[in-house]
Amino acid sequence: MDISFLETLPPIVPNIFTALLIFVGSLFLARFLRGLLDKMLQARGVDPETSILLGQLLYWSILIFGVITALQRFFDVSAFLAGLGILGFTIGFALQEIMQNFVAGMILLIQQPFDIGNLVTVSNYTGTVVAINMRTTEMTTLDGRLIIVPNAQVLSNPIENYSRADSLRVTLPVGVSYDTDLDLARKTILDALPAITGYLAEPAPSIIYHTFGGSSIDMDVRFWIDTDKNNLFDAKDEAVIITKRALDAKGVDIPFPIRTVYMEK
């Protein structure tokens, strides 16, 4: 190639060529490192949500750095970056709620207080997590409703994760009539509890009488279940049925509320 031809080119042409090389190189480097990071995280057993988040952060960080380096071939980007900073601050202030949810979504994906498929209670909603997005968390409630909760609200409220616990304690309130043999009622219920799916003998169940009610002596029946075999709600359903049948078989009465009304003549 004739060197004199290259010397006749405008000075901007080599800069354009160099800038394109920098941009294309950063693009391939970003893709390569994102794939490498994804393989490393999978080998360590990191959840897919976290792998996607970290991969995207790495990809865009390298790409933005490459674009800034390429632009440096044409002008001093310091003033340009300062302008972007002011513009970003203005946009961030205007969209602070959206940015707050975005940052909260990143924190949720990193900390992972729950995974997709977990049964949780968040912001007074109980249901199964179906999606964790960058701005919102989607849940399907026990009655089938789709609830979309902003991530900032999820992060700022207590989270109950029923799926993470290996075992859960079920508490069932029961009332028996005043003429009941209380020892018999306690033994009857304790003997019936092992029929519940997922029932655990340890920790041991307990029955505590605590109140002389308006028409009954009230107790709390407490027992533990294995969450791999049953869930909190189905276990309580079984406990009600099994307790009622056992008490009926022993002639123990669960009374209706009674009110005595005196009429003046």
What's the CA gap between 202 and 195, in Å, rounded?
Answer: 15
Angle at 142 (CA atoms; ends 136, 147), nearest 5 degrees: 20
Residues, the chain: 265
Q: Peptide bond before 205: cis, by omega within 30 degrees of 0?
A: no
φ, ψ at 149 (rounded to 5°): -110, 130
Query: If you ran DSSP here, which 8-state letter would residue 207 be given?
Result: E
Query: If you ran DSSP here, which 8-state letter would residue 25 be given?
Result: H
Average pLDDT, the chain: 80
Name the more confident of 190 and 46. 190
What average pLDDT score do residues 182-209 get?
92
35: pLDDT strictly greater than 90:
no
> Quick check: pTM over 0.95?
no
Q: Could you say which of 3.40.50.620, 3.30.70.100, 1.10.1060.10, 2.60.120.10 is the CATH number of the domain covering 167-249?
A: 3.30.70.100
Q: With pLDDT > 70 as the criterion, what percentage of the chain qualifies?
A: 80
Q: Distance from CA of residue 91 to its chain's centroid?
A: 29
pLDDT band at residue 190 using 50, 70 and 90 as cut-offs: very high
Per-residue pLDDT tens over the stretch 66-119? 777 777 666 666 665 565 555 455 555 544 666 777 777 777 777 778 888 888
Which of 10-19, 160-169, 210-219 has the highest average model confidence (pLDDT)?
210-219
pLDDT on residue 1: 47
Q: Could you say which of 1.20.140.10, 1.10.15.40, 3.40.190.10, 1.10.287.1260 is the CATH number of the domain covering 9-94?
A: 1.10.287.1260
pLDDT on residue 223: 93
Per-residue pLDDT tens over the stretch 156-183? 888 888 888 788 899 999 999 998 899 9
Q: What is the CATH number of domain 113-161?
A: 2.30.30.60
What average pLDDT score do residues 206-214 get?
90
pLDDT on residue 80: 57
Q: With pLDDT > 90 as the criterion, what percentage of the chain qualifies?
A: 23
What amino acid occupies position 7?
A: E
- Asked if 136 and 119 count as a contact pair (C-beta separation under 8 A), the reply is no
CA-nearest of 203, 122, 219, 206 to 168 is 203
Helix-helix angle 48-71:96-111, to 10 degrees:
130
Q: Assess whether the region 9-94 and the region 167-249 belong to the same CATH fold.
A: no
Query: If you ran DSSP here, which 8-state letter would residue 103 be given?
Result: H
pLDDT band at residue 19 using 50, 70 and 90 as cut-offs: confident
CA-nearest of 179, 171, 159, 152 to 233 is 171
Ranges 83-92, 219-228, 246-255: which has the least confidence: 83-92
Q: Domain limits of the chain?
A: 9-94, 113-161, 167-249
